[in-house]
Structures are given as structure tokens and as C-alpha cells.
Structure 1
């Protein structure tokens, strides 16, 4: 899935992305570390992998990997 980097804190290695429909999703340090990145700037296109948390209407997405989108 593709998204756009929205926020990133280099100290905590946490941040958030915006899906193409404008939905924000946060990621934690393990998801950032899994992608092998060292830095992320707002506005960069990224590829994310997600898993669902919960069931039904309350289902939330949790990012498990953030890496740069390459063509």
C-alpha cells in the first residue's frame, strides 16, 4: 500500500502517514526499523505494510513496515 509521510520524530522513530484518501495512520519505531530507513521527511512517498486490529466496524490498521516507494 502507498502513502505519504506526514510526521516523523527522529528521536522516537515514530510518526504518521496519510493514505491517498487523507486518512492518517500512525507508526511506531518497530515499523520504521523494519523498513531499514534512517530518516523520513514529510511529503515523501512511502510503501507501507499493514495488519488489521480488531473486528467489524472498529477495525483499525496498524503499520508493520515503512519504506520508501520506488518505481
Structure 2
């Protein structure tokens, strides 16, 4: 699944992504730290895995990455 970065706090290493459905889903520092990324910019497209139903009120990101960046990612 893909989403757009809606907010990102570099000091706290957390933020929110905006799903294509318009739903905001938060992510914490642990998810960002596992991404292998150093920074995110607003509007940037990212690939995500969501725990549970992405449309549920308690949805949270399990994984965040950009294809081709990070361990095991191949640029296509």
C-alpha cells in the first residue's frame, strides 16, 4: 500500500501519513527508525504496511519504506 507523508517531526522521528482514502495514520519513532531513512518531506510518497484495518480509528503503521532504499530493497 502507498501513502503520502502528511506530517513529520525530525526531532521526535514520528508523524502521520495520508492514505489515498483521505485517512490519516500515525507512525512512531520505532517505525521510522526501522525504515533506514534519514528524513521525510511533506507530500513524499512512501510504501507502508498497516497493522489491522487501515480505515480503523486505531490503525498504526507497522512498516514504512521507499522502494529501493533500505535493507533488502532493490531499485526497479
Shift of 1:3: 0.2
Match in the other structure for 1:14:
14
Show structure 1 runs of 4+ deviating over 2 A: none
Task: Point out the structure with the larger strand share.
Answer: 1
Structure 2 unaligned spans of 5+: 69-75
Structure 1 unaligned spans of 5+: none
Number of paired residues?
67
Match in the other structure for 1:24:
24
TM-score normalised to structure 1 length: 0.82
Q: Which has the higher contact order (CA 8 A, sep 6+)?
A: 1
For the residue of structure 2 that corresponds to 1:60, the secondary structure is: coil
Superposed CA RMSD in Å reads 1.9
In structure 2, what is the Cα distance between the partners aligned to 1:28 and 1:49? 13
Shift of 1:59: 6.2
